[in-house]
Amino acid sequence: MPDYVVLISTLGGIEVFGLNGFVLGPVIAAMFIAVWDIYAEGREAETPSSM
């Protein structure tokens, strides 16, 4: 994950979850990015190529 995403997710996690958000924020952000990549790859495989 890029450094700025870790910073933003840490600060957001602390705001939402308190001290536990220090860990939960980046974990949730990493899981979101991983799921987004899996979804994008699956969607790309479904589209027929025009070649």
Q: What is the pLDDT of residues 1-17, one digit of tens each?
A: 899 999 999 999 999 99
Question: Would you state the pLDDT for residue 43?
Answer: 86
Q: What angle do CA 49, 50, 51 make, to 5 degrees?
A: 95
Tell me, yes or no, whether 37 lies in a domain. Answer: yes
Number of independent structural domains in the chain: 1
Overall size of the chain counted in residues? 51
Domain of residue 31, residue span: 3-45
Mean per-residue pLDDT, 30-35: 96
Place of tokens 């027929």: 48
Helix axes 3-17, 21-46, angle to 10 degrees: 120
Q: Name the average pLDDT for the chain.
A: 91
Tell me, yes or no, whether 17 lies in a domain. Answer: yes
- The answer to whether 39 touches 14, Cβ cutoff 8 Å, is no
Mean per-residue pLDDT, 11-29: 96
